[in-house]
Structure 1
Amino acid sequence: MTRVAVLGSTNMDLVAYVDRAPERGQTVTGREFRTIPGGKGANQAVAAARAGGDVLMIGAVGDDEYGVRMRESLEHSCVDTDLLHTAEGPSGTAHIVVDAQGSNAIVVVPGANGTVTSLGPGEIAAIAEADLLLLQLELPLSAVIEGARAGHAQGVRTLLTPSPVRKLPAELLDHVDLLIPNEHEAAELSGYEEPHAAAEILLSQVPAVLITLGAKGCLYAARGSRTIHFPAPEVIAVDTTGAGDTFVGTLAVALGEGRPVPQAIAWASAAAALCVQKPGASVSMPYRSEIDAA
């Protein structure tokens, strides 16, 4: 079984469903409101666990009701939460608006995630024992860099989702094996809107890049290999929240099982396609049997 360590965020998603997202200064009436456990780190952990991985979550929740619910949600999906610490104060929250086309806009308030500024011996040891390490940017950058360095030192395959996007220092990128931005993040990081051009620039900084393109699929590029475009399954999207995290978590399990990259991407794409057909993030993530049947 693939051992996956996730160093990342836990947020309670506060989701408003609307016909049309409001423009600046505008108020609209929503159709529905839900509170759903999420956060990029927790979402990737749940996706990996449901895909069949042995998953450990490293991070923090607050000492509030949201923190209790998020821990229970992770454990319900068989994610190990021994290193998910409880910090004083509120848990992280993500304020999400989802329109009738399934597109979303998100504001993240870090809360307890902001307390994870460094790693202890237990976290370092857990990363060293993993097959893969999943990182995102909803924790303080100092902890993300420390985690990447620890993984790289022990030969742990490290995947970074650069979201929320920011300038990435060399001391982080030097320890990343696979960078997985979406097309907007890739454009901001590279300065090029066109995905092939963006991938070429990013390959000067990391060994491999996988740019997700939403309904258009994804683009994979690695040093010394040709760039490959993989189409996405055609489905009707209800809510795209969590689709990228589903893709990454499932991909990690596939790579850990030794599947060739094209097969791993196809499997992860099937999982993401299943995710977008249901509302919510973690609650819509498919189990291994569902992915295999897709």
Structure 2
Amino acid sequence: MDRQAEFAALIDQYTKGEGVQETALPRVALFKLSQPSEPMHGVHEPALCILAQGRKQVIVGGNIYFYDASQYLVVSVDVPVVGQVVDATPENPYLSFRLNLDPALISELILEAGLAENTGRDTPGAGLSVSRVTPELLDAVMRLLRLLDNPRDLAVLGPLAEREILYRLLQGPDAARLRQIAQADSNLRRVTRAISWIKQHFSEPFSIETLAAEARMSASALHHHFKQVTAMSPLQYQKQLRLQEARRLILIQGSDAASAGHQVGYESPSQFSREYSRLFGAPPLRDANRLKASPEMLLSA
């Protein structure tokens, strides 16, 4: 069995049914889907995603990223995305590995391995990137997954395998991005502080000056770096969070559209319905009925 086939077999072994499967490994989840999906809206956390089979597209702002089993996706900040599995069949299902990135572990590894680098530049790039999978990275991921067969080894060897995965990433094209995730005073971490504040106060109006003070940046610098990282302005980011939360309230809690819109900060029901339709492709009630009829649209990875 070649490396790629073994990777697919490992993921398939530990996914029961369709959708996301959490594992005994901290920060690791697996995902399986046997048919292409509709566009799936969500907030993607900082993570490494590698496919064993299938193909996916991820849309952030106006940017579209495609990746398949030859590539991996790195996400460096919490960012609203539209993900869509575009290649999957029952015979060859979409199979995905996801490792959520821990800034503390990355920082510790950078120091221990002597990988710190001071270039004098601190310009964060886009919050998502697609790079080519190396044999060394894939081998480290498979070593981590094989530990699921050996629960007694997992507690000791799991952290070592995770460190090797991060080490391989730090040797590749995403090294600078990972250093910025780990560096407490980097502009990326300042943008991350702004994102965290918006997530906690998304239903409240705010000014860019207030957000800049929270991020400890000037208003102009925050706006520039925020858009560079997330492909959207802070207000556009807030709108995405509001609409995604309203969708959750309508679908999961059974709220009516007017109540959901008011709860997430909209004063005008017509504006809420208009912006909801623009993002999700249908008014709230019709969208909720469509989701209930097609539960695979709620899956994400």
TM-score, length basis structure 2: 0.28
More strand by share: 1
More helix by share: 2
TM-score, length basis structure 1: 0.29
